[in-house]
Amino acid sequence: MFNPLPTACGRRLLLLLCLGGLALTTAPALAAKRPYVETEPKRGFHLFTRPKKKSPADQWQYVQTLDAAGKSRAAARQAYALRLYWPQSPEAPQAQLLQARILEHRGRSIEAFDAYQHLVETWPGHFEFNDVLTRQMTLARAIMERRKGKFLFLPGFTAPERAIPYFEKIAQSAPESDLTAEAFYHIGAAHERTYEYVQAIDAYFTTLNRFPGSPFAEPAAFGQARCHVRLAAEAPEDNRAVETAIAACDLYLQRHPAGPNAQQVRDDQAGLRRRQAANAFARARYYDRILRKPEAALIEYQAFLNSFPNADEAPKARRRVQELTRNAPPAPPENAP
């Protein structure tokens, strides 16, 4: 006989069908109420850096309240927590910018520069770029001039080379910006102050070559010439170094004949030419007095007079040319066997 009551197995099947239908009808509603979840990778464990609020909007409001109340350190810490826990939120770049400015106002130059750099690299287009770049330039200059080791009446010492990586980051962030010309100029100045003249020349030349219309083109050209003059002074008998320094002075005077440093460059160039003449005269004297080769000495004296007719050593060279010419053996006849 047919049993209208379902068996135990049938009852379980009916229960599953009912639950499945209920799930299908409620799934869209549950999906609509599901909160947004970050898809960023795990941020790690931060014992002392946790946001006080449960959402980025509330956290940002809390950060602004702290800042307005003068609690700048707490505001910077909570701003950091915001961008750490909600990096994809629209409040994250605002929090990063606020943290960087608080660090800047507190005199934490390196930390502030790094905070601005994180803003530049992570959220481009969400802030005023030129303003941030200008602030980074100010911070990099402060790092360059900061004195360390102050004690009592001792003024301490600067370490300008520490600022070079920060100027390089500015140049990388905006290769065609006017601030990049300034950045390369300061890189050159930092190298020059640490006696790295070759690296300084490269940075100065980059400023001069890539940004000829920049306000830093003239001081860069002067710095380049100055470094070449110092390299020539370190090797006074190196004619190639002297010639290169003279060419650097010529380059400055061609581009900035009425520049504020033009007279100094002319004076340096005149000193280089005197040294060049002294080296040429010494070479002739070497063949004359040391090697005792009058024919070679005569050639060198004549070459010296052709190149430096008004040098201080020119009268001595002329007298010696006359003596060597008078004492030279007569040339053999052209048809002599």
93 Cβ neighbours under 8 A, 6+ residues apart = 83, 119, 122, 123, 126, 127
pLDDT (0 to 100) of residue 333: 59
279 Cβ neighbours under 8 A, 6+ residues apart = 236, 237, 239, 242
Range of the domain at 64: 49-108+115-123
CA 152 to mean position of chain CA atoms: 33
Does residue 73 belong to any structural domain of this protein? Answer: yes
What does the angle CA 10 – CA 12 – CA 14 come to, to the nearest 5 degrees? 70
Does residue 247 belong to any structural domain of this protein? Answer: no
Does residue 119 belong to any structural domain of this protein? Answer: yes
Does residue 224 belong to any structural domain of this protein? Answer: no
**Sign of the alpha-carbon dihedral angle for 234, 158, 175, 180:** negative
pTM exceeds 0.85, yes or no: no
Does residue 85 belong to any structural domain of this protein? Answer: yes
List of the chain residues with pLDDT < 70: 1-48, 148-157, 328-337
Does residue 313 belong to any structural domain of this protein? Answer: no
pLDDT (0 to 100) of residue 168: 97
Q: Which residue has the tokens 């941020």?
A: 43
Does residue 307 belong to any structural domain of this protein? Answer: no
How many Å apart are CA 251 and CA 205, to the nearest integer?
A: 11
Name the residue type at position 113.
F
pLDDT (0 to 100) of residue 155: 53
Cβ atoms 143, 177 nearer than 8 A = no
pLDDT (0 to 100) of residue 136: 97
Number of domains making up the chain: 1
The pLDDT tens digits of the residues spanning 127-171 come to 999 999 999 999 999 999 987 655 555 555 578 999 999 999 999
pLDDT (0 to 100) of residue 56: 95
Does residue 97 belong to any structural domain of this protein? Answer: yes
pLDDT (0 to 100) of residue 237: 85
